[in-house]
Every structure is written in C-alpha cells, then in structure tokens.
Amino acid sequence: MMLLAFDDELTLARGLADALGWPLAVVERHSFPDGETRLRLPPTLPARVTLLRGLQDPNAKLTELLLTAAGARELGARHLTLVSPYLAYMRQDIAFTPGEVVSQRHLGRLLAAAFDAVLTVDPHLHRVATLDEVLPGRRGSALSAAPLLGAHVARQVPGALLLAPDEEAGQWVRVAAQAHGLDHAVCHKQRNGDHDVAVALPDTTVVGRAVVLLDDVASTGRTLAAAARGALARGAASVDVAVTHALFVGDALAQVHAAGVRRVWSSDCVPHASNAVSVVPVLATALRNLLEGER
C-alpha cells in the first residue's frame, strides 16, 4: 500500500497516511516557463496505490492528475484509487441550453479510464443518485462530512437551528441535524447570476435563536451572505457558517463576515484557514472498507 499526494495537501495526506499506517510519497512538480509541468513519482510503486488529490482550482489540476495516474500505472500500480475530497465539475449534469457540454459525464469518463475506484466527499450531485453512475464501470463512493459538521455545531452552539441556505443543501442539513438532535429548516434561493442571488427564509421562527448555515460548498459566498442577512433581519441572535468545501473565491469570506456572520467552520477537504473538522476518519474507514471488499 502507498498513499501518493501533492505538496499543497500534505496536512490532510499525513493525517490519512498515519490513520491507515501506510507510507506517504509526494508527487514532485516542476513548472516550466511555458506553463507545462514535469512530474516525478517514486521510481517503483506497489501494486495498490491511492492518490489523494482535491480538484479545487480544477483546470490547473486535472492535467497533473491524469498524468500522475498514467505514470503510476507505468511504475507498477495495478490498482489505483483516487481520493478527491472535493470533486469538481459535478454540478453540470445536464445540458441546460442547446450545445452545452455535460461536464459531469465527461469528467466521470476520464476518471473511470484512469482509476479503478474514486472516493469523494459531499459531491454536488442533483439528478444523479450515486457516484457510480458518474463513473462507468468503476466503483464510486460519495462520503459525507455533514455528520461531522453537525457534531461540531452541536458542541460549539448547543441548541442551534441548522439552516440550509438553499434547497440543494437541504440533504446535508437534514443528515447533520438528525444525527445530533438539532432543529433544521431550508431556505429558497433564486440565482440571477454568479454573484447575484436572493434567499427567502422559511416560516420557521428564528427570533432570538442561534442560527448556523450549513452547506456543501462556499464559493462566492453570496448565498451564505444573503441567508445570513435574512436571518439577522428576522431577529436571529447570531449566525455562524459550517461548510464541507471552503473554496471562498476572491472576497467571498469577507462578504460573508460583512453580512454579519460570526464564525466560519469548514472541513479539511479543502485547505483553508477556517478548517475545524477533519474528514480523515471518514476517508480512512472508507478506504479500509474498499480494500476489504476487494479481497
């Protein structure tokens, strides 16, 4: 067994390797002036290799990921598993307008050609029931950080109201709330553009309550900011945020705090200063189960 990882995800990689008792090797990268990258792996690899690579900033990382997978095969890996805590391009699952490329379908085929199994956390799936459907002929496993985030919220804000900022986040809020005995509700979102959203709060009373917005991903932060402003305007005592994937592009985190959010907690799926919950136990258990099931 061996865990391969890139140098920008070593904190998570070291934790996962320690939990599994596996050796850890780092993919060395050298960037040429023209933008190409030279990759270097250990000269000899064991038969089973797991590659850890999150796909935040995906356009820059996909080429490296596919080249690393191909190189690992050449160097001895016969079974290759991808652990991608954040899996990009999952939201484009149908063509919304004529001619639009269904990115989820095509990325899934690329990953299925390169890897024997793919594990991820809280993928942004809408009209697809399981990750297996995205990976033709391969095994896909969609894990969740929602129970971990729910436990963290329950410790930090006992009795909090968990609020999903939109309908898509409802699935994670329900899981987190039910696992830890918290109340929950779901907002309605109308998106007018990448940075223009309107959020309508549910009828649930928020007056005097500590509200925690829980979502799978924070990208521009506009949805969270709109929901926070709405909750505070309705009389919430405080608003905090818990997210699985802390992308926080550009001024997103500043926008969220400017809307009145007190604290932001995230899982370590994406390296970020807000990381407060580790997905290492979930990933380690899933990898052990995967290996046991294939023996």
DSSP 41-60: --SS--SEEEEE---SSHHH
Q: Is the sign of the CA dihedral 271, 273, 279, 281 positive or negative?
A: positive
Q: Are residues 261 and 287 in the same domain?
A: no
Q: Are residues 154 and 48 in the same domain?
A: no
284: domain CATH number?
Answer: 3.40.50.2020
Q: What is the pLDDT of residue 174?
A: 93
Q: Are residues 162 and 139 in the same domain?
A: no
What pTM did the predictor assign?
A: 0.93
Average confidence (pLDDT) per 10 residues, the chain, 295 residues? 96 98 97 95 96 94 96 97 96 86 92 96 83 89 95 96 92 91 90 70 93 95 94 97 97 96 98 97 96 73
Q: Is the sign of the CA dihedral 276, 281, 284, 286 positive or negative?
A: negative
In this structure, the strands spanning 24-31 and 37-40 are: antiparallel
Q: What is the pLDDT of residue 195?
A: 55
Q: Are residues 95 and 150 in the same domain?
A: no
Q: Are residues 172 and 287 in the same domain?
A: no
Find how far residue 264's CA is from the centre of its chain: 16
**Angstrom distance (rounded) from CA 50 to CA 81:** 5
Q: Are residues 152 and 263 in the same domain?
A: yes
Q: How many domains does the chain have?
A: 2
Neighbours of 147 (CB within 10 A): 16
Q: Are residues 117 and 231 in the same domain?
A: no
Q: What is the pLDDT of residue 125?
A: 81
Whether 189 sits among the annotated catalytic residues: the reply is yes
Quick one: tokens of 245? 């994937």
Q: Are residues 65 and 156 in the same domain?
A: no
Looking at the DSSP bridge assignments, the partners of residue 6 are 27
Q: What is the pLDDT of residue 291?
A: 83
Find out whether 210 and 161 touch, Cβ atoms under 8 Å.
yes
Which one of the listed residues 53, 61, 180, 189 is annotated catalytic? 189
Q: Are residues 48 and 169 in the same domain?
A: no
Range(s) of the domain holding residue 68: 2-144+279-293
Q: Are residues 150 and 225 in the same domain?
A: yes
In this structure, the strands spanning 196-200 and 188-193 are: antiparallel
Q: Are residues 47 and 172 in the same domain?
A: no
